[in-house]
Amino acid sequence: MRFFTKRIDRQIGVYQRELIETHFAEVENMYRQIRGWRHDYRNHIQVMKAYAASGNMEAIREYLDKLDTDLATVDTVIKTGNAMTDAILNSKISLARSRQIPVKADAHIPVVLRISELDLCVILGNLFDNAIEASLQLPPEKRLIRLYMDIKGTQLYISLTNFTAGKKLPKVGGRFRSAKGEGHGFGLVRMDAVIERLGGYISRGSEDGAFTTEVLLPQVCNSSPENDNSSPK
């Protein structure tokens, strides 16, 4: 019994270290993007100053039009209407794209969520972490993650699909095996426990070339964030 307990403790320790490393990679990637934006911003200012010094207003207008078009193509910030959801999703999407994994996201949350920030982070974080891990098994041109989030009645609906290598994944003991192999999967167990505690529902499906997870959480208030100044419970 003691041996089994120690083994579980070691596995949990490995999982926690991996979680910390993942969050560090996310933050590092976002800071790298910010540094790049600052560098480009200074260059753009110098170019427009040069045009202004020569009195070339037409060149300035054309340059601003180009910047506007360029910004529209690189602005990948997700704005769901919920600040915590935005923070989690943008961090995970930034990490995925830094690893050459395209992400198509359609997320709308025009209500105040009752689910705690910690629970939301566990659910969305683990969904993305596993999708990213599975996507890395594919060549870059075949990678893709699709996310859809919206309110269905009084429930928060989450659907995340990623392409997978090979055919339909087998289940082991009623669960799909973690893409990280033996000794992993604590994130999935914790996510399932959170969803069960919240009275939610989770469904996982594997078809040839794709894996989809759907989650329903009856944890929302029927009011918009702008009209409700209370903090999420």
39-96 pLDDT, tens digit each: 777 788 888 889 899 999 999 888 888 877 666 545 556 778 777 788 788 888 888 8
* pLDDT tens digits, one per residue of 140-190: 999 999 999 999 888 999 999 998 876 555 554 445 455 554 444 567 888
Number of domains in the chain: 2
- List C-alpha distances in Å: 72 to 68, 76, 79, 150, 186: 6, 9, 14, 24, 39
pLDDT of residue 215: 96
Task: Indicate the residue among 23, 46, 74 that finishes a domain.
Answer: 74
Q: Residue 203 sits in which domain range?
A: 83-226
Percent of the chain predicted with pLDDT > 70: 64
Q: Are residues 68 and 142 in the same domain?
A: no
Q: Are residues 93 and 208 in the same domain?
A: yes
Q: Are residues 89 and 145 in the same domain?
A: yes
Instruction: Report d(CA 112, CA 49) in Å as an integer.
Output: 45
